[in-house]
Amino acid sequence: MGIDKKHIGNKYGPTTYVVGAEKLREFAYAVAGGVPSMGFTGTGAPEGLLPQLHQGTEIVGMPSFCNVFAIAPFGQAVTDPKLGINLLMLVHGEQEYEFFEPIRPGDTITSTGEITDIFEKQAKDFVTVVTESKNQHGKLVVRGRWLAVIRQ
């Protein structure tokens, strides 16, 4: 179908996300093979979850917890009616994250995104979105590079 390259440079967000300790636990537990809302131990650590995510009384997020908030501007981009993408035909092609500051409970994280490339190859459309997520101190937490592939 071909997505118009004029949308390169489109910006999305800012979106904000407040990080909760229970959400960090749920995410780590779902990834580690558990059921998100069940099975936490007396110390708060899910079965199978790394003690390293519980440094004493302090909790840090799995680095890939950023999936939860960094996806927002990417989601806005691929659902932007101007691009006309059929979501059922969309698959996630590639993903890159650079991690800077750890994710901690109570953080307020603001994410923005920009379409940096649109191209067509082998009867598929490709859209690249770069996202940046910063915490309440203005420090960069994660930069993401998302590649959506849309089957035609």
Partner 1 sequence: MSKQLSVGDTFTHVRECDKYRPIYYAAASGDFNPIHIDPDAGKAAGLGGPILQGLCTLSWAVEGVVNHVKDATRIAKVKVRFSRPVMIDDTVTYVGKVTAIENGKAVFEISAKNQKGDDVLKGAVVEVRV
Residues 113-142 contacting partner 1, CB under 8 A: none
Please check whether residue 147 is in contact with residue 105, taking contact to mean a CB–CB distance below 8 angstroms: no
d(CA 116, CA 11): 9
The answer to whether 27 contacts partner 1 (rule: CB under 8 A) is: yes
d(CA 78, CA 81): 8
Segment 50-53 long-range contacts (CB within 8 Å, at least 24 positions apart): 53/24, 53/28
Q: Which stretch binds partner 1 (CB under 8 A): 6-14, 85-93, 105-113, 125-133?
A: 85-93
d(CA 23, CA 61): 9
Closer residue to partner 1 (CB): 12 or 27: 27
Among 37, 41, 108, 136, binds partner 1 (CB under 8 A): 37
Q: What six digits make up the tokens of 91?
A: 């698959």
The answer to whether 32 contacts partner 1 (rule: CB under 8 A) is: yes
Q: Which residues pair with 55 in a beta bridge?
A: 58
Backbone angles phi, psi at 71, to 5 degrees: -70, -20
Helix crossing, 67-78 with 21-31: angle to 10°?
80
Closer residue to partner 1 (CB): 8 or 60: 60
Q: Which stretch binds partner 1 (CB under 8 A): 5-13, 61-69, 107-115, 131-139?
A: 61-69
The answer to whether 61 contacts partner 1 (rule: CB under 8 A) is: yes
The answer to whether 47 contacts partner 1 (rule: CB under 8 A) is: no
Closer residue to partner 1 (CB): 53 or 115: 53
Contact residues for partner 1, defined by CB under 8 A:
23, 26-27, 29-37, 50, 52-53, 60-64, 67-68, 71, 87-89, 91-99, 102, 151
